Structure 1
Amino acid sequence: MSFINYLKIVRILILFNLPLSVIGTFLDIRDLSTYMILLPMTFLDFFFLCSNYSKLKFKKIEILLIVLILLSVIIGFTNTTTFTRRHISDLTNPLFLILKIIIFRAYLFKSIPFLNKFIPSLAKQLFYFGIGSIILFYVLSFYKSMYAGITPTVHPFFIDVMIKGNGLSQVATVLVILLSGKRALLISSLVIFILYQILIKKKSRFILYIFAVFFSLSFLISFLGLSADGISAFEKYKWTYELYLENKDDLDFDSEILNTLTAGRLAEIQGATKLMSPLDYVIGKGVGFTYTYFSQSLNEDMAGYANLHFSPLSLITKYGFIFYLVFMFYILSSLYKFSANGYLSILFGLYIIASLIDMLFAYTIFVDPLIPIALGFLTNRKRFEYEI
């Protein structure tokens, strides 16, 4: 399978992922809707890797990462007595990521003319599908009350329109981000906006641009006559802020309020760390690691839980702190001088930064199909200038 054909199939899968997820959530078949995308993506990756194994040319750090992943298999089977699908996914997820980065690296720079058209087109399509998914969410909300937490993939489009200087599209993107109800998405978007002004535009007065964007957004909301109390996403922001103000003096690591503010993420951390010894933090509990945590929303213990939303700790629990340090160095070193090497380098570099911030709130590092593409491009040490 060629790299271009692979990307064309991936585009179809990731475009329909979000609307399918929204429908699955409202119909209470979220797991089924997730597997409808996840399983085809896994088989596609496997077929692509098998058909392109000849292009595997490893760097030393990639060999080290693969060795650490394989060691986690041995550690995992010494810590668990039963074999589950978690053992397979915990092995294949990081392994497939590294292998895809290596193969993509062999293809990407030969495919710059294609990527220069494909990536902006995909970014725009993801943005429009994100809008459609948000509209779908609010329409379905009239029939069934649901938590506002849609995660549209808007970072590629946001970065694209920043590079091209399209101010109106930037404001529209911020509006979509606000309507999604995702606080992590809002934070990561704000960070890459600031970094773009500092690193790319070389403007030290970046704060003025922030005010300009949010002033324009506020004007647009007022013009459309939107009420924050009538939109579940804005109610979520308001509720979070008011809950914090009411309890800010009583927040600590064991606080139920802090767990509520973090949408149950604190309970995950507490549940996982109870099972960790000092040595486990260094080498991990291995593949197949699961834990139990208390769910406030369901008011019951959730057994057999595998991942944490806080990705750094999720990686450490499975693969250890040594793997985490090497893996982070691998990613961060790819960002070397990304801001001075043309359109694709800037877009991919800022996307990786946004993804690293999102990793603090969601365990998506191994399932985001754009991350290996970006890292495949960025880990190639050749320097190409490409005009926008």
Structure 2
Amino acid sequence: MAPAPQATEDQRAVALVVVVGLLLASMVVAGWFHRAFLLPDAATWERGRTISAAYDPPDQPVELYFNQGDGQLFAHQAMDPFVRHPEGIRGGAAEQAYRLQRPLYGWVGWIASAGQPAAVAWALIAVTVLAVGLLAGLAATLAATWGRSPWWGLAVLAAPGVSVDLIRCGPEALAAALVAGGLLAWLGPRRRTWPAVACFALACLARETLVVVPVTLVAVDWWSSRLPGRPWAGAVRRAWSPLFASLVPFVAWVLVLRVGLGAWPRGSVEGRLSPIPFSGLVAARGRFDGEELLALALLFGPALVALVRGRDLRLRGLVAAHLVLAAVMGEAVWVSWLDFGRVLLPLSLVSLLALLAPAPAPSGPEPAAAPAPARRLAPVGG
């Protein structure tokens, strides 16, 4: 049977969204390299100034690109996927465990570079560009699934975190795409539990903060089960507990690092977390420029509207969970949009999806069967 015209049109639009996403991502990366570069002199370069030994010293513009920030750490992971040389990350065992707890991006870079260290840099850039296109395409697919225009998928490209990944290289676009894939499998018209679990598990391996996604989905659905007209806890346990399996690979990897490095993940940079909600944001506000203010508007504007106006409680729960994450981020994260923008890229995604999603169909108990019609009794006597 031929596909419905609307479905064919939506598929075509999703494909175009992916192409546009790839083109825009490629243009952003090319724009960064379209400048003059001053490479350091290896003879006078003081080694040990970078947080990773991957490009120390840098001798190509692409190595300068990675040395701007955490990209150099993921380049190291792609060159050393089996953690044989953790000393390539500076700062001691706890810092190494902290930096290595996000292995997926480096592993994908290792695969994409065919294990060739010289090819790692461009392989990771290609992975990031492809991840941005995939993220836009999955957002478009979700929009189409909910009866919205697939062109809404392009809106996710306005997220500050997408720009950060493209000009500095990082795992957040890939992680957000995996979250989108998991939500498509979990919230779609036909639930696919284990593909959702696989996507969420990979997302947690890309960025540890994404453990909040499966945990929040379980919590929201457990809470919903207690509302009037909802099935009780036994059915919820059977339906929702598989999501906890998505946490197992991340926990196992942290244990591997603990055994191999002798330390739990603990970063050396002070001020990453704050016990007082949004005190880090308040402390950093004096150093904000226009870029930080624009990034804050792009992050919190849609999030607050989605929190109030969203119709799917599960997606609103994800928005709330990422706002809680934002609340405990410390001053060191809030100083620059290049830092808080990438951490909160999943917030941009779930805010958009919460604004697009319809209210879920009620999933209460099965209606009782209609009573059988009463039988008429023949009169007794003449």
TM-score normalised by length of structure 2: 0.36
**Structure with larger Rg:** 2
Q: Which structure has more helix as a fraction of its residues?
A: 1
TM-score normalised by length of structure 1: 0.36
Q: Which has the higher contact order (CA 8 A, sep 6+)?
A: 1
